[in-house]
């Protein structure tokens, strides 16, 4: 019998706190409500989060800061998530190797493939499920990963 969602979410919170408390995360999300919800969730599990409203701001912050992980929306004004990821991958080390997890309502296989081609490490679909995000963070944070895998809440989710 599968675990209840509340139990899975609680276990995900515990795992994030135990393994990643204090990690510096860059949240890139143009939708103010989505950004606020994500910030509350991420701060609640002990992550140090900075946010950016578009890919250009994310790139600027990546140039000037050091992050352990980036959560990247795909469809944004000014610079989209694919372009921002490509630009981050072109930065000098170590920032060019930061794990980047795409967050998008686009759950189609071709969308995920585009994210992987751009250099994104993992993929989660919106609306964000904490247990699936925790799994993606765990996989992305593993050194020398053999390849990216996806965590999806639903292929037909929307933002």
31-42 pLDDT per residue, tens: 999 899 889 888
Give Rg (Cα) of the chain.
14
List for the chain the helix, strand, coil content (%; round to 5): 45, 15, 40
59 part of a folded domain: yes
Q: What is the rounded average pLDDT of the residues 45-63?
A: 94
117 inside domain: yes
Contacts of 10 (CB under 8 A, 6+ apart): none
Predicted model pTM: 0.80
Tens digit of each residue's pLDDT (9 = 90 or more) over 82-118? 999 999 999 998 889 999 999 988 767 888 888 899 9
Say yes or no to pLDDT of 44 above 60. Answer: yes
- Stretch 130-153: mean pLDDT: 61
Contact 127, 153 (CB under 8 A): yes
* Confidence bin at 143 (pLDDT 50/70/90): low
Across 36-58, average pLDDT? 91
Torsion of CA 39, 41, 47, 51, to 10 degrees: -20
CATH, residue 133: 3.40.50.2300
The residue range of the domain holding 54 is 13-151
- The pLDDT of residue 11 is 77
Q: Could you tell me if residue 156 is inside a domain?
A: no
Provide the pLDDT confidence category of residue 125 given band limits of 50, 70 and 90. confident
Q: What is the model's pLDDT at position 60?
A: 96
- Classify residue 43: in a domain, yes or no: yes
21 is a domain residue: yes
Q: Is residue 61 part of a domain?
A: yes
97 in any annotated domain: yes
Q: Does residue 3 lie in a domain region? A: no
How many domains would you assign to the chain? Answer: 1
């Amino acid at each position: 019998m599968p675990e209840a969602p509340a139990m899975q979410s609680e276990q995900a919170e515990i795992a994030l706190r135990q393994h990643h408390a204090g990690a510096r995360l860059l949240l890139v999300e143009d939708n103010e409500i989505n950004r606020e919800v994500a910030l509350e969730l991420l701060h609640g599990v002990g992550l140090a989060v900075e946010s950016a409203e578009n890919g250009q701001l994310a790139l600027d912050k990546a140039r000037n800061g050091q992050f352990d992980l980036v959560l990247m929306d795909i469809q944004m004004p000014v610079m989209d998530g694919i372009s921002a990821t490509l630009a981050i991958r072109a930065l000098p080390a170590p920032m060019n190797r930061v794990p980047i997890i795409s967050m998008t309502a686009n759950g189609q296989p071709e969308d995920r493939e585009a994210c992987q081609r751009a250099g994104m490490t993992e993929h989660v679909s919106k609306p964000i499920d904490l247990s699936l995000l925790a799994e993606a963070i765990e996989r992305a944070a593993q050194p020398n990963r053999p390849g990216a895998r996806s965590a999806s809440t639903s292929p037909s989710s929307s933002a």
